[in-house]
Amino acid sequence: MLLFVEVVQSIFFLFALLLVVASLMTVLARNPVQSALSLVFAFFAASVLWILLEAEFLGLVLILVYVGAVMTLFLFVIMTLNIHASEEQRGFVTYFPYAVISVAVLLGMLIYAILSRFISSASITQGAGYNNTQALGDVLYTQYAYPFEIVGVLLLVAIVATIALSAREKRLNKAIPPKQQLLVHRENRLHIIKMQPEKKI
């Protein structure tokens, strides 16, 4: 039992350290691609921590949705836009020390608040027959069914909005561009046909 506790603790510290390092790399990396890959790494470490907290379903969803979809989208956009690997771009700003100091003060206050209120080592583990996915589904499809459907509509709106934003030409717009209008010659529109006058019957 003691060995098990030590193994769990060392897993926690290893992945917590990885998470902090990957976050730091995301913030400080000069190349956007490097930044995105560090963020992927941070998501992996966070999902291990979530699984350690017995949130297995959300840990796997974090990998599937974030690493599989969102970060791939980020990388696609980075490579599509071909942002020049930021020569002289991402130099440190002039107010860098002040930013670090203020964020450090914030972090100190947060840690002080946490330590003054939430010290407990009471760890609860669920029983052996506990199924996180099933428990989550039981609540999600009954008590939270309405928010769940709203989220579905929200995703649909996001699809439509993304396509509408990034479509290259306006598809629903039937106005004729003035440039094409001015380029029209008389011959394009008007044909004069010679024909015999018809006889009166």
Q: Taking the complex as a whole, how short is the minimal distance between the CB of residue 194 and other proteins, in angstroms? A: 51
Q: Which residues of 16-45 are buried (b: 16+ CB within 10 A; e: fewer)?
A: eebbeebbebbeebeebeebbbbbbbbbbb
Q: Taking the complex as a whole, how short is the minimal distance between the CB of residue 21 and other proteins, in angstroms? A: 10
Q: Taking the complex as a whole, how short is the minimal distance between the CB of residue 153 and other proteins, in angstroms? A: 11
Q: Which is nearer to other proteins, 6 or 184 (CB)?
A: 6
Q: Which is nearer to other proteins, 9 or 184 (CB)?
A: 9
Residue of 59, 45, 53 whose CA lies nearest to 123 = 53
Q: Which is nearer to other proteins, 134 or 180 (CB)?
A: 134
Q: What is the DSSP string of 16-54?
A: HHHHHHHHHHHHH-SSHHHHHHHHHHHHHHHHHHHHHTT
Q: Which is nearer to other proteins, 124 or 182 (CB)?
A: 124
Which pair of structure tokens corresponds to residue 95? 């107010």
Burial class (CB in 10 A: 0-12, 13-18, 19+), 78: middle
Q: Which is nearer to other proteins, 85 or 184 (CB)?
A: 85
Q: What is the dihedral of CA 140, 142, 146, 148, to 10 degrees?
A: 20
CB atoms near residue 73 (< 10 Å): 12
Q: Taking the complex as a whole, how short is the minimal distance between the CB of residue 98 and other proteins, in angstroms? A: 9
Beta-carbon contacts of residue 99 (< 8 Å; ≥ 6 apart): 93
Q: Taking the complex as a whole, how short is the minimal distance between the CB of residue 174 and other proteins, in angstroms? A: 22
Q: Which is nearer to other proteins, 140 or 184 (CB)?
A: 140
Q: Taking the complex as a whole, how short is the minimal distance between the CB of residue 53 and other proteins, in angstroms? A: 4
